[in-house]
Structure 1
Amino acid sequence: MAAPLMEKDVELGFVEETDKKLLTSRYFPSKIGGHPAWLSLDSLPTTDSLACRICKKPTSFLLQVYSPGAEQVEAFHRTIFVFVCTDPACNKSNTNDNFHVFRSQLPKVNKFYSAEPPDETLPGKDEINAASFNKICIVCGCLGPKTCSKCQSVSYCGKDHQTIDWKLGHKKSCTSKVKQEQEERLYPSLFPEMELVTETENYKPCDKTADKSEEEKMKEYKEYLCSQNSAEGLKDLSETELQKMASEESENDKQLRKFKKRLSHEPDQVLRYSKGGEPLWIACTPKPDNIPDCDCGSKRQFEFQVLPHMLSYLDVDKVGESLDWGVLCIYTCSKNCSIENTYHREYIYKQDVI
């Protein structure tokens, strides 16, 4: 008999407040929100490549995960970037058309950063960023090929963000005679900026379901229903009624219950990292039938997933429709193919609960 497959270790991601200067490019951060802390600094994704595939408007930077490839010289530094369109109308169930994922990697010796680790006791001392090599949009922090025609000192990725900046203050400060320093404003298109920190999941699967009596299973299921519905009436359900409800419970309901039970051990987790492992699905279906191969021809493998709890940190709750997801699963090239200083598109699978 073949030995059972061992579950890979999972690194759990949590959100923490920190000095914003430590969330810049030189410190190779993992973070959510704010401007991207680009890794490669002189060949950023184009405006077109970052546009939502549905509404064609700019997507917003969601998060980045620093995951160096120690086994490859050219991936000594390696970061995965995720972008999302915040328009609720583009947030369609089980589709990824409002997301973009890019991989960037560099060798230890490169033209941007010293080979020596940065001094975190003096944040900002030797900072270098993409603005040293490109015009950067003041609103989103992405490539900014457009410039204000009056002052010639502020750059934008396009008309949408120029309009936003004009309304939020640039109209008053703009001048064709004196170049104004770019003001730091709170733009509605940005998510709150926070650090992502990780720790190894301390979880040992112990499935004793097969050893439980029907009475124990019913009791456990009843407790689950009460926890989900917060209804006193459920506590008084008869065994017959419970059995009827249990028999009607779909496979997706069962998977959602397993998902919540696993996450309940660390309820504040917002991300699960397990390169080469398997996602923790929130539902049985749909699942990807075939993950597209990388452009280099290699297979892609699962790297990490973003959990729904991250939404609570993004200030996206609105009356009616809002940005939402079940899980976001990111797949990257299994060979970590050579991409030099460019940003290479990877794949994201969005699974929702129907």
Structure 2
Amino acid sequence: MASECVLGFCSSKWDRKNGEWYDTHIGGSSVWPDGLTVTIPPCPVCSLHRTFVLQAYAPHPNHSEREVYLFGCNSIKCSEKPTSWYALRVVKLLEENVRPQGEKNSQSASHKREQNSGPRQVINWESDSEDSDSEPEILAEELQLLSLVVEQAKQRRGASTHSQNEEAVSSTCSSFGRTGHGGQCINENANPLAAFCIEVDYEPARGQKSLEDEKVERLLGRYNEEEKLRSRNGIDEQWAAEQDDENKPETLALERFRDTISRAPDQILRYSFGGEPIWPSHPPPPINTKICACGSPMIFELQLLASCLHYLKPDECLPADQKDAGMNFASVATYTCAGDCTLAKVVAETAMLQVFEQEICVQQDDW
């Protein structure tokens, strides 16, 4: 069952000095758990170091402490190619899976499956309510975790549509402990993108208005009036062809995209584990890997929209010797194992943490 869609919005500027590896942010530099060293391979298209783009706290019922990282080549020629992107998921192993220090990761696939199907993890959620002591412990898989958690959302965006679920979102923001900046990243681009905190909220339901809706409706009304004026001036013959176009897959995809985005126009990030991305054009980009090593399907997890480029300012963060413009895209989506297994190729690890590569789909801004 897909989790409810959660949207990410740019908030205040992000400061690495106060950042933690559980924080969700775009741009700047990546933050890693203590003791973890991760090497980011260069872009296979141009051989330049990849640029850090996104870090999102994304718990899963199998791994409540989990993070997704996204890196991309800051070149307009490379960013349209999925191979220029690099996505990772970091998971903190359950206690029964933690290896003694010095022990190699030599477990068989069948043994790992047995471990993954072991005792269910219990999460104690923090609460400010007076009767919190009497609340029962809740199993992670019963929570349908929304997964995208931020730095406490110090200042909500102020929209009534985004504040209705504030208590629910805030409860997940403060659930887990914090770690420091002990980890390190090798080969990360030394020209970071502009950095911002990401705050999240549930996607408004269809028909539910956000702060921007009134302005959008005024613009749409003005456009409709202009269309009526064009029709009265003798351009009716165009409508037959336009009606035929309405049923084309390309038109339907764009309409769905516009309709979805219009509910919260300033969104830059979409998160729905097992849900569906929204593509602005048709056909959607293909997925190279459809089945994980464990046999589970690869499913959608998160999507970064082109609107984030307004904040990241890639053209202002180019190396001095780079002649191309910065990255540009319509959408970047990551896919992961439905069971969040530990059978995939390990990119980096410590006794308690493992890092795995994610699948990526990219749609270029050509629509």
TM over 0.5: yes
Relative contact order, CA 8 A, sep 6+: which one is greater? 2
Quick one: which amino acid aligns to residue 38 of structure 2?
Answer: P
What secondary structure does 2:278 align onto? coil
Quick one: which amino acid aligns to residue 282 of structure 1?
Answer: P
Show the counterpart of 2:271: 273
Instruction: Using the TM superposition, give the Cα deviation of residue 281 of structure 1 relative to its aligned residue in structure 2, in angstroms.
Output: 1.9
What secondary structure does 1:105 align onto? strand
CA distance in 2, matches of 1:234, 1:255: 26
Identity of aligned residues (%): 23
For the pair 1:99 / 2:103, whether they are aligned, the reply is no
Show the counterpart of 1:154: none
Instruction: Using the TM superposition, give the Cα deviation of residue 245 of structure 1 relative to its aligned residue in structure 2, in angstroms.
Output: 3.5
Instruction: Using the TM superposition, give the Cα deviation of residue 257 of structure 1 relative to its aligned residue in structure 2, in angstroms.
Output: 2.7
RMSD: 3.9
Change (3 A) 1:192 1:235: farther
Show the counterpart of 1:350: 362
Show the counterpart of 1:243: 240
Change (3 A) 1:76 1:303: same
Unmatched 5+ stretches in structure 1: 1-5, 137-141, 144-156, 162-186, 207-222
Kept after mapping to 1: 8 A contact 2:92/2:354: no
Calculate the TM-score normalised by the size of structure 2. 0.61
Change (3 A) 1:234 1:20: farther
CA distance in 2, matches of 1:237, 1:106: 66
What secondary structure does 1:239 align onto? coil
Show the 5 A alignment for 1:1-354: 9-17=4-12, 20=15, 24-25=19-20, 28-39=22-33, 41-47=34-40, 50-69=41-60, 71-72=61-62, 75-92=63-80, 95-107=81-93, 128-130=180-182, 136=184, 142-143=185-186, 157=187, 189-204=191-206, 226=223, 236=233, 238-248=235-245, 250-288=248-286, 291-317=289-315, 321-338=325-342, 340-352=352-364, 353-354=366-367
Kept after mapping to 2: 8 A contact 1:23/1:29: no
What secondary structure does 2:308 align onto? helix
Change (3 A) 1:248 1:35: same
CA distance in 1, matches of 2:277, 2:341: 22
| CA offset digits 1:91-136 (Å, max 9, x no partner) | 33xx30110000001158799xxx999x989xxxx862135xxxx5
Instruction: Using the TM superposition, give the Cα deviation of residue 351 of structure 1 relative to its aligned residue in structure 2, in angstroms.
Output: 1.9
Change (3 A) 1:255 1:225: farther
Instruction: Using the TM superposition, give the Cα deviation of residue 290 of structure 1 relative to its aligned residue in structure 2, in angstroms.
Output: 5.5
Quick one: which amino acid aligns to residue 81 of structure 1?
Answer: Y
Change (3 A) 1:281 1:88: closer
What secondary structure does 1:259 align onto? helix
Change (3 A) 1:88 1:19: closer
Q: May I ask how many residue pairs the two structures share in their alignment?
A: 265
Instruction: Using the TM superposition, give the Cα deviation of residue 43 of structure 1 relative to its aligned residue in structure 2, in angstroms.
Output: 3.7
Instruction: Using the TM superposition, give the Cα deviation of residue 296 of structure 1 relative to its aligned residue in structure 2, in angstroms.
Output: 4.0
Instruction: Using the TM superposition, give the Cα deviation of residue 344 of structure 1 relative to its aligned residue in structure 2, in angstroms.
Output: 0.5
Quick one: which amino acid aligns to residue 343 of structure 1?
Answer: V
CA distance in 2, matches of 1:224, 1:91: 36
Kept after mapping to 2: 8 A contact 1:294/1:346: no
CA distance in 2, matches of 1:127, 1:289: 34
Unmatched 5+ stretches in structure 2: 101-123, 127-150, 155-177, 209-219, 317-322, 347-351
CA distance in 2, matches of 1:296, 1:17: 40
Change (3 A) 1:271 1:347: same
Instruction: Using the TM superposition, give the Cα deviation of residue 248 of structure 1 relative to its aligned residue in structure 2, in angstroms.
Output: 4.5
Change (3 A) 1:52 1:302: same
Quick one: which amino acid aligns to residue 328 of structure 2?
Answer: D
Show the counterpart of 1:150: none
Quick one: which amino acid aligns to residue 31 of structure 1?
Answer: H
Show the counterpart of 2:213: none
Kept after mapping to 1: 8 A contact 2:93/2:353: no
Show the counterpart of 1:176: none
